[in-house]
Amino acid sequence: MSALCKLAPLPWDEKALEPVISARTIEFHYHKHHQGYVDTLNKLVEGGKFAGMTLEEIIHETADAAADAEKKIFNNAAQVWNHDFYWRSLGPQKTVPQGKLASAIARDFGDTAGLIAALAEAGKSQFGSGWAWLISIGGKLQIEKTANAQTPMAQGINCLLTVDVWEHAYYLDYQNARPKYLEEVLGKILNWDFAAENLEKESQAVLAAAQ
Ligand code: MN
C-alpha cells in the first residue's frame, strides 16, 4: 500500500442513527475527528518506513514503540482503525444476538442484558478518553476497556464490538452524561450481526490454523 490511507465510508446514512446519535455528532465525529486521524497519519508516514504498510501492519509495528515519533503514528493509526470498527459496531436496524454468538453470551454473561451491563460499566469506569470493547479469546467472550487510542487489536486480540467513550462521541447529544449515551447506544443501536461475523472469523481462523 503505497497509496495513502483513506477515510472508509460510513456503513449507513449520516442521519440513520438518530435520535441516539445525531447527524450533527456524525458531522464532527466522522468528518472532523476521524478524517483528522487519517490526514495526520498520512502526513506522519509520508516517505518513511511505514509508508508501504497496511493500516493493520502499522498498528502492530508501532504498538510497543518507545520513540515519540512512532507513538504518534500508533495513536493516529489506531484511532483510524478504532473509528472504522466503531461505525461498523453500530447500525440503525434492530439486531439481536443469534446462533453461536447467542450461545456464547448465555455461557459467559448469563444473557444479553448481563453483557450490556458489563460493557456499560467498562465504558462508565474508563477514566478519561478511551474505548469499551467486547472481545473474544479462543471463543470466550470478555469485556475490556482501553485508554486513548489503545486497542486490543494491537495485541492480536479478536474484537467483536466497540463503543467510543471519548467526549467527542457524545457531548453534542448528551453533554456530560456518558452513562446515558452508553445506555442508549448499547440498548438500541449495537450491530449484533457484526459481532457475530467477527466471532465467526475467529473460529474460521482457528480451523484454518489446525489444518
Ligand atoms: Mn471518536
Query: Each residue of 80-136: pLDDT tens digit?
Result: 999 999 999 999 999 999 999 999 999 999 999 999 999 999 999 999 999 999 999
**Look-up of cell digits 471463543:** 139
Residue 147 scores a pLDDT above 50: yes
* Distance in Å, CA 80 to ligand 1 centroid: 9
User: Residue 164: phi, psi to the nearest 5?
Assistant: -75, 125
User: Residue 114: phi, psi to the nearest 5?
Assistant: -65, -40
Share of the chain above pLDDT 70, in %: 99
Q: What is the pTM of this model?
A: 0.96
The ranges assigned to domains in the chain are: 23-89, 99-210
* Distance in Å, CA 204 to ligand 1 centroid: 30
| Residues 66-80, mean pLDDT to the nearest whole number | 97
- Gap between the Cα atoms of 139 and 203, Å rounded: 7
Fold observed for domain 99-210: minor pseudopilin epsh fold (3.55.40)
Residue 204 scores a pLDDT above 90: no
Q: What CATH number is given for 23-89 in this structure?
A: 1.10.287.990
pLDDT score of 1: 41
* Distance in Å, CA 33 to ligand 1 centroid: 7
